[in-house]
Chains A and B, each alone.
Chain A
Amino acid sequence: MIRQYFISFTVVLASFLTLVIPVAGAAEETQYFPIASSRVGPYSAMGTGYYGAQIDYLNYINMNGGVNGVMLTWQECETEYNAVKTVECYQRLLEKDGQRIVVFDTLGTPGAYAVINRMAEDEVVLAQYGYGRTDAADGRVWPWVFNAASHYWSQIAVKMKFMAEQEGGIENMNGKKIVHLHIDSAYGREPLPAMRKIAQDWGVELVEISIPPPGLEQQSQWLQVRKEQPDWVTFWGAGSGMNSTGMTNAARVGFPRDRLIYVTFGAAEEDMFPAGDAATGTYAMANALPGDQFPLVNAIKEQVYGAGKGNLADESRIGSVYWNRGLGAAVMWIEAIKNAQEMHGKVGKAVTGAEFRDGYEALNMTNERLEEIGIMGMVAPFAISCENHEGAGKFAMMQWDGDKFVQVTDWEAPLEPAFIRQLVEDSAAKFAQENNITSKQCS
């Protein structure tokens, strides 16, 4: 009898032990990064481009001697843009060879929300590059979370400003109708608080129509749009399937594409091409402009792809919207590491999460600095501060000409940035109160 228990016991124990991941290794001067990528599923175009660029840039830095000699390492984990899997990936990537990650980037609002409360405790920076929790722009309540490269509330405010300009001024907006056609998820609803307030102030009628995920069925919603006869439609979709379906349906109900404005996560070549001619004329927002004319993009193309170390399977996607956006995010990581090394006297050494956080908060990407790096014009110049974790808060409008995006406006801020900031602070204060968080003092 005892033998039997012993056997079943050892089998269970052995199967457990074989699964335990060994934690060991020597500490070299390396800095370890997590790549929580989403390469399969409906959001694969986004994930392959964005995370591909991050890996390409890390490779590029390594090929040029690292960050003051510190070599960069990384480990990848597939999240499938799924919040549950993102939590698992976060835990799995958290530590490797005794070194902890300093930054985490989910490229997805659901994933960001799933890990956001772990950041302060684990001392990891959550870098939301133009997605995620908006009120994290208030650094006093969210010291560990950043949404630099501008959040959704600024984005919707810039869109409404663009509409007002097209209509010939805010006074002409009175009585106009906007349909917010969005995917029915937290991400789709994220801009609404700001949008409702602005619409109310301007006397604009706002109609909210939601599309259940994954958003490939939109016929009934577009019939509703046709019935409403709106002046503008703001389309808040995710994944190239949903985004291209939106434009083909707009064409079907005869809604003019130059009255249709896409969100940053529908503003990529991969979203436009599947819709074919139906896409021509559609407006889309950018927080990082596409194009391979930037010197850094060219350098990566020559050095990294020239050496056969490129991460993209299709080299023609270098310089596309998602790739450039990932590059913008990775540049911020490396600049933050440089800052952290200098601020804490650790030049040539790996930095900790807390040091990285200080370095990230001290980011000041002036036009001169952007020019040195070689991405001048690709992103709006910005600075981050203890209070303001949003960065520039600016967006550029692009229009699809059937083949590529054409930039139609310069980097534009909302009409009343202070108003958007007030919304952010109110929302953050509510969160702080509900969760008994004492706001950090920013001298």
Chain B
Amino acid sequence: MKSKPVILCYSRNDITNFVVLMILGFAIIPFIVPTDYWYTSILIPWLCLSLAAIGQQIVMGYAGQLALGAAGFMAAGAFALFNLELRLPFLPFPVALGIAGLIAAAFGIIFGLPSLRVRGIYLMVATLASQFFIIWMIDKFGWFKNYDTSGIITAQDIVIFNKPFTTPFEMYLVIMVVVTVLTIFAINMTRGRTGRNWMAVRDMDLAAESMGISLLKTKLQAFAISAFFCGVAGALFAFTYLKSMEPVAFDIKLSFRILFMVILGGLGTISGAFIGAAFILLFPVVLNTFGNEFFHGMIDATIISSIELVVFGVLIIVFMIYEPLGMAKLWENLKLRIRSKFSNRFGGEQKA
């Protein structure tokens, strides 16, 4: 029934980007990254949080709904997956992951309802409820945690087709596959009718409505898909990075960090989610490593730790002033500049 082959929807640029990234992710990184540290502490959390940032991007960057509470949906996804694995062990992992995402999406719809009435900063306050309600619910009812005395439970191993994926590299591969599939899915949606509807609602909801776009459907759809992405991201985050589940790990601070990732990365871009996640997640690590390597023993360690926070804050401000459209825009500009430089130098000769 497909009227158009899928491949035709993409420009050559898209396909080359895709190929380059796939080769980098599946062929080059496995060869040049030797240490477990890089997989477990950098790549895995980065990919997980990028996925959550895409979720935030959909609801905020595309549909224009100021929502705050991504970490709540992440917790929902993580605990849904834990309980699915525990109580329905016959479910294959990919199916369980999908269902966990759908459960998070159901929460997304419920907490997206206020968006029909309130908007802007008020909506942000309303969506905060998701953050607190979901965490409270998990804490309050022991069933979600299988009545564990301490309240911190161990995540099960990932097993796909009877093969356990437990080493950092194997888990990285699982995440890469999930992130690749979902990112293509997200890019498709944002370019297609769904995304156009979201953007129409974002830019002027009255006009969108008068053109026949259902606000109810569009907004709730954005919330549901956003929560789905966050849920899957949260499940992967708990199962591959934390390996334990504690509701406190999904606190309001994480929601804020995901929000900052989206704003810094660039609203309304999928690549911005990845760039923003890299900045927010990795930069403090780089600063801390740098601080401890170079000033080891020279300056009081307490002061180093505080300076890192100051530097990080200043950098955020600098970036926002220098490029309010986010780091994705900076990256585009950089590419354009390099490209124009090269075409000036060599391009002319080639054509001549």
Contact = CB atoms under 8 A, between A and B. Distances in A.
Decide whether A and B assemble into one complex: yes
Contacts of B143: none
Given A84-B242, A87-B242, A92-B41, A7 B150 contact: no
A88 B168 CA distance: 13
Contact of B152 (A17, A37, A113): A113
A113 B246 contact: yes
B154 A117 contact: yes
Nearest to A192: B149
A163 B40 CA distance: 47
Interface in A3-24: 3-5, 7-9, 11-13, 16-17, 19-21, 23
Given A23-B35, A39-B302, A83 B242 contact: yes
Interface in B231-256: 241-244, 246, 248-249, 251, 254
Contacts of B309: 40
Contact of B32 (A3, A17, A94, A114): A17
A39 B251 CA distance: 20
Contact of B242 (A7, A13, A114): A114
A316 interface: no
Interface of B is mostly: helix
B33 interface: yes
Contacts of B243: 114, 117-118
B338 interface: yes
A20 B33 contact: yes
Interface in B262-301: 282, 285-286, 288-289, 292, 296, 300-301
A19 B335 CA distance: 21
Interface string B323-339: 00000000000010011
Given A5-B16, A92-B41, A83 B150 contact: no
A7 B342 contact: yes
Given A40-B306, A117-B244, A134-B150, A21 B37 contact: yes
Contact of A91 (B12, B40, B152, B248): B40
Interface in B177-228: none
A186 B302 contact: no
A185 B24 contact: no
A349 interface: no
Contacts of A133: 150
Nearest to A47: B302
A67 interface: no
Contacts of A200: none
B339 A44 contact: no
B169 to A, nearest CB: 14
Contact of A39 (B29, B244, B305, B346): B305
A193 B42 CA distance: 37
Given A20-B38, A92-B289, A39 B301 contact: yes
Given A5-B20, A133-B150, A78 B38 contact: no
Contact of B150 (A13, A113, A213): A113
A435 interface: yes
A311 interface: yes
B29 to A, nearest CB: 8
Contacts of A311: 300-301
Contacts of B301: 37, 39, 76, 311
Interface centre among A7, A23, A113 (most CB of B within 10 A): A113
A189 B150 contact: yes
A300 interface: no
A407 B346 CA distance: 81
Interface string A80-94: 000110011001101
Interface residues of B, number: 52
B242 A75 contact: no
Given A17-B32, A189-B150, A91 B37 contact: yes
B302 A7 contact: no
B139 A75 contact: no
Nearest to A84: B249
A26 interface: no
Nearest to A3: B342
A21 B35 CA distance: 9
B199 to A, nearest CB: 27
A327 B296 CA distance: 21
A185 B40 CA distance: 25
Contacts of B159: none
A11 B332 CA distance: 13
A27 interface: no
Contacts of B292: 75-77
B116 interface: no
Given A9-B20, A91-B40, A113-B246, A186 B152 contact: yes
A8 B35 contact: no
B41 A110 contact: no
Given A76-B292, A189-B151, A7 B338 contact: yes
Interface centre among B24, B37, B150, B241 (most CB of A within 10 A): B150
A87 B305 contact: no
A8 B20 contact: yes
A12 B24 contact: yes
Given A78-B305, A134-B150, A213 B36 contact: no
A83 B246 contact: yes
Contacts of B28: 13
A88 B45 contact: yes
A270 interface: no
A231 interface: no
B142 to A, nearest CB: 10
A193 B149 contact: yes
Contacts of A289: none
A88 B41 contact: yes
A114 B154 CA distance: 9
Given A113-B150, A193-B149, A184 B302 contact: no
B346 A3 contact: yes
Contacts of A192: 149
A351 interface: no
A113 B148 CA distance: 13
A59 B153 CA distance: 38
A307 interface: no
A9 B24 CA distance: 8
Nearest to B12: A1
A434 B168 CA distance: 23
A184 B346 CA distance: 64
A219 to B, nearest CB: 18
Interface centre among A39, A78, A92, A192 (most CB of B within 10 A): A78
13 contacts: A8-B335, A17-B32, A19-B282, A23-B34, A37-B305, A75-B292, A76-B296, A77-B292, A91-B36, A110-B152, A113-B246, A184-B139, A427-B149
Interface of B: 12, 16-17, 20, 24, 28-29, 32-38, 40-42, 45, 139, 149-152, 154, 241-244, 246, 248-249, 251, 254, 282, 285-286, 288-289, 292, 296, 300-302, 305-306, 308-309, 335, 338-339, 342, 346
Closest 9 pairs between A and B when the two form their complex, measured CB to CB: A91-B41, A113-B152, A186-B151, A39-B305, A39-B302, A88-B41, A91-B37, A78-B305, A186-B152
Given A23-B34, A40-B302, 8 more contacts: A4-B342, A83-B248, A84-B241, A91-B36, A91-B41, A185-B151, A213-B248, A313-B300
